[in-house]
Amino acid sequence: METDWIGYHHEKDKLRTEIWSLLKQQAASVGDPFGHIPNFVGAELAAEKLASLSIWEQAKTIKCNPDSAQIPVRMRALQDGKRLYMAVPRLTDERCFVELNAEDLQRQNVSITQGAIARKALACGKLVSFAEMEPIDLVIVGCVGVARNGGRTGKGAGFADLELAMLQEFGLVEIDTPIVTTVHSLQVVADLRLPMQAHDWALNWIVTAEEVIETNTIYPRPIGLNWDILRQEQLEQIPILRKIRRF
């Protein structure tokens, strides 16, 4: 299966294709999973389970990925009165996060259900720069594959790792800020299947419709942006990276 980001890591490419195929075969995905953070059957239940955890209850400010799989998570964050930051897809804007909250949506006559959809969030949320953001209490990332030891992979583009590295550079994510995902149980693979690299951010929690996994990961958290491993096309396509580098 060819995607935009194939070829950077052979083992992970293979694993992603395997998971996408499995989700499709088992009718566990909503829509075509290939090339995406797969939307999955049971995403609402997983979001509900996540919302029952103390890390969620204590979080006032949440950062979440823009994929469809996490619409129920974004919806729940808005319903629970949290400040929500959603990354601009592919980080194409210098202000690469959108800030949303229930009050602003209400003022614009936009329902929470609508505001949780990425396209609508981009239209009615407020684009913010890192300087305008509040520290983040909880991070939700989209994953294609995860392991119980905290290993994770997205689509292979590296956006989640980049976002986290930049947020850390600006003091918005700390060494102990919990990193969570919601996935289908078919996306959970053996630890050995998911090799992690130095720039990869591991998960602290994995939530499926059936269970909550605290990973107690021993993977060290990366420290800020690693300019040596940034790819040329990332610098070309992500304006905020060029700006940070200038400073």
The string of pLDDT tens digits covering residues 145-187 is 999 999 999 998 778 888 999 999 899 999 999 999 999 999 9
Amino acid identity of residue 217, one-letter, is T
93-127: per-residue pLDDT in tens? 788 899 999 999 999 999 999 999 999 999 999 99
Which amino acid type is present at position 181? Answer: T
Q: Which of 72-81, 155-164, 191-200, 232-241 has the highest mean pLDDT?
A: 72-81
In this structure, are residues 228 and 198 in contact, taking their beta carbons and an 8 Å threshold?
Answer: no
Select from 104, 60, 105, 56 the least CA-distant residue to 83: 60
Residue for token digits 């009718």? Answer: 27
pLDDT value for 2: 43
From residue 76, alpha-carbon distances to 6, 63, 130 in Å are: 33, 13, 24
pTM of the model: 0.92
3-class secondary structure, 146: strand
pLDDT of residue 230: 75
Q: What's the pLDDT at 179?
A: 98
